[in-house]
Structure 1
Amino acid sequence: MTRISYLGPAGTFTEQALWAFGVPGAEPVAVDSPAAALSAVRAGEADYAVAAIESSVDGSVTSTSDALVESPGVQIYGETELDIAFAIMTRPGEGLDGPRRFASHPVAYQQVKRWVGENVPGASFVPAASNGAGARMVAEGEADVAAAPRRAAELFGLEVHADGVADLETARTRFLLVGPPGTPTPRTGNDRTTIVFQLPNEPGTLVAVLQEFASRGVDMSRIESRPTRKVRNTYDFHVDLVGHIEDEPLAEALRAVYLRASKIVFLGSWPRAHGEAAPTDLGRRAAANEWVRRAREGK
C-alpha cells in the first residue's frame, strides 16, 4: 500500500485530486491541513502527500507554499487540476430558508458567496477546516448548510439542494503530489520546475536573477515572495518555470541563479497538468544531475 496524506476528512476536493493521480495501492491518510499532509511525509507517516497549491480564484495556497520549504526537504512529483463547483447540502428534510449557519472552507466561501447571498439570505458564515469538515459540521448539528463536493453529502447522509454551484464558472484548483526527495519525474517536453531562493539584500539582485531566465528564453509561470519567518525582513522567492531540469537552457539558468543566491531549494520537475492528472510513474525517474545534489545540500 502507498500511504497518501491529504486534507480531510473524506469528501474534500483534495481527496478527489488524490484519486485522480491514480497511484497504485493508494491508502488515504486524512489530516487537518496541507502543512500537516507534508509533515506526515517528513515524519515517515505517509509515502506521499496531496496538497492544493493554487486557486484560479484566490491565488496561491500560502500554507502549502510555506510548508514546502521546511526542513527536511520534500519534492514535487506531479500535479493535477480540478474544476471547482459545489453541492449545497443540509440535513435531510431541512431547507435553505430561515436563519442558517453556512459552513465551508473560507476559500470555498469566496467562490459561492454571491450564490449564498441570493439563495440563503441572512446566512452567517462558519469557517471550516475543509469543505468535507463543513459537511460533517452540518451532520453533527454545528452548522445548517454546507458547500462541498457532492460525495460529502453521500458520506455524511445529507440532502443536496443544488449542484454545480460556483460564482465563477472558470474556477479551478491545482494540486501537487509531494514525496521525499528523490530523482525527478522523467522529462516529457511539457514540464514544470519549481525552485525557492533567497537573495542578498542588495540593489538589483532580483532583476539580475530574472535576467538569467529571460536571456535564455526560460518562461516563468508564477513568482511570489513569502516571509521566511526566521529572520526579520527576509523573503523566499517561489518561482514556477516552464521546462524540466534536464532542459539545457533551464539547467544553465539555475546554475547561474545558484551563484547569485544566498539560498536555493529545488522542489522538483514534473509533467504539467491539463485538467486531469499528469503522469506520475513513481517507479521511473531520470538521473538527477549535479546541480540538484548541490542545491539540496545548500551553500
Structure 2
Amino acid sequence: MERDTDTAGTPAASGAQERRPRYVYLGPEGTFTQAALLQVTSPQEADLQPCPDVVTALERVRAGEADYAVVPIENSVEGGVNVTLDTLSTGTPLVIVGEMLVPVTFTLCARPGTRLEDVRRISTHPHAWAQCRRWITQHLDGATHVPATSTAAAAALLASDEPNPGFDAALCSELSARQYGLEVLAAGVADNPHAVTRFIRVARPGALPGPTGADKTTLMVHLADNEAGALLSMLEQFATRGVNLSRIESRPIGDSLGRYSFSIDAEGHLAEERVQATLIGLHRVCPTVRFLGSYPRADGRRPHVRPGTYDADFRAARDWVSGLLAGLRVSGD
C-alpha cells in the first residue's frame, strides 16, 4: 500500500517581500468574501483581484500568479463549502495560514420598479439560498432558485444592461445592493439571524504562522480500504492524545463508489507535541494524510488540554524512554 503524505515545506516564492502582496478572492466586488478579505488587508496595503469562482482563485495561487487566496470554507448553517474542501484536497499542496469569520445576513433586491409580488425567480449562491429557504417559502411561496457563483455575481448581473438576466431578484449583501444600485425589497432576509461563514486565507507551502495557544490544524485523511474499524482507528489517533476535533466532514474521493476522505479541523498547532504525535499516528494507520495548515483561530478560543497531553508530558515520557535505552546500552557493553 503506497503512502501519499503531503507536507508544507516548500518555501514561498522569492521576492514576495519586495512588492505588494497579491490577493485573489471570490468576487465580484461586494461579496461576503471581500468583507472577509478586508479584515486582513486593504487596497492600500495589497493588490486585490476578484475571481469568478473558488477554483480559479486557488489555482492562481498554485500557479504563483497570486500570493494569497481568500475563499469560504464553512457556514454555520450549511456546513462545509465543498468546492473549497475538494480543491484543497487534490493537486499541488496549498496551506491555510489564517481564518476570518463574517456574520451573514441578506437583502432581497431587484431592479428599480420591481414589486415584491412580481418576484418569481431569485438568483444567489446555493449556500445563501439554503439560509433563506424558510423566509422565501413564507413570503414568496413558489419562487425558484437560479444558482450563481456568488451573491454579488447575481446582483451584478441584475444591475447590468442585460435585458433578460433570467431572474427577477437577487439575494445578496446590503453592500452589494448599494454598490450595484439595486432597490431593496426586503432586508434582514435569513432563517437564522446568527449565521456565520468562515473564510480562509490560503498560500503556497512555506513557513507556518507561529503557535498562539488558540490554533487549528486542518487535515485531509483517507481511510484504509475494506478494513473493519478503519474510521475508529483514525479517530483514536486524536482521542488518545487529547486532541479535540472542531469539524469533521466526509467527502467522496471520486475514483469509485463508497470511498471517502475526511476533512478535519483539529484544535492545536503543529508545533505542539500532542498534535505532532497525532500526525505520526495518522501516518501509521492511514494511506493518505494531507497537511493543510496550522493557523490562529479567528475566535481566539483556547482548547482544553487534558492532563498528560501537555508538551512537558510528552517530553518527560521521551526522556524516560531515552534513559531506559541508555541503561540497556550500558548493560550490553
TM-score (ref. length: structure 2)? 0.78
Q: List aligned pairs for 1:55-134, cutoff 5 A.
A: 55-134=75-154
Question: SS in structure 1 opposite 2:298?
Answer: coil
Question: SS in structure 1 opposite 2:116?
Answer: coil
- Equivalent residue in structure 2 for 1:171, among 189, 195, 201: 195
Distance 2:137 2:258 in 1: 40
- Indicate yes or no: 2:215 matched with 1:191: yes
Q: Which amino acid aligns with 2:206?
A: G
Q: List aligned pairs for 1:1-299, cutoff 5 A.
A: 1-22=20-41, 25-140=45-160, 141-142=164-165, 143-201=167-225, 202-230=227-255, 233-274=258-299
CA deviation vs aligned residue, 1:70-121 (integer Å, no higher than 9, x gap): 2211000000111110122111232212243211112111212222233334
Unpaired segments ≥5 residues, structure 2: 1-19, 301-333
Distance 2:143 2:288 in 1: 47
Unpaired segments ≥5 residues, structure 1: 276-299
Residue of structure 2 equivalent to 1:278? none
Distance 2:140 2:67 in 1: 42
Distance 1:199 1:5 in 2: 33
CA deviation vs aligned residue, 1:250-280 (integer Å, no higher than 9, x gap): 11111111122211111110011129xxxxx
Residues 93 and 242 (structure 1), Cα distance of their counterparts in 2 relative to 1, 3 Å cut: same
Residues 212 and 118 (structure 1), Cα distance of their counterparts in 2 relative to 1, 3 Å cut: closer
1:221 shift after superposition: 1.2
Q: Which amino acid aligns with 1:191?
A: D
Question: SS in structure 2 opposite 1:236?
Answer: strand
Q: Is the 8 A contact 2:223 2:234 kept in 1?
A: no
Question: SS in structure 1 opposite 2:283?
Answer: helix
CA deviation vs aligned residue, 1:52-75 (integer Å, no higher than 9, x gap): 111111111111000002221100
Q: Which amino acid aligns with 2:201?
A: L
Structure number, greater radius of gyration: 2
Over aligned residues, Cα RMSD in angstroms?
A: 1.8
1:122 shift after superposition: 4.0
Distance 2:112 2:118 in 1: 16
Does 245-254 or 14-23 show the bigger shift? 14-23
Q: Is the 8 A contact 1:99 1:122 kept in 2?
A: no
Structure 1 stretches of at least 4 aligned residues deviating more than 6 Å after TM superposition: none
Residue of structure 2 equivalent to 1:295? none
| Equivalenced residues, count | 275
Q: Which amino acid aligns with 2:156?
A: R
CA deviation vs aligned residue, 1:140-195 (integer Å, no higher than 9, x gap): 34122111011112221112233222111121111110010112111000000011
Distance 2:280 2:119 in 1: 59
1:198 shift after superposition: 1.7
Residues 120 and 27 (structure 1), Cα distance of their counterparts in 2 relative to 1, 3 Å cut: farther
Q: Is the 8 A contact 1:29 1:46 kept in 2?
A: no
Distance 2:251 2:180 in 1: 37
Amino-acid identity (%) = 41
1:233 shift after superposition: 4.2
Distance 2:204 2:194 in 1: 33
Residues 91 and 250 (structure 1), Cα distance of their counterparts in 2 relative to 1, 3 Å cut: same
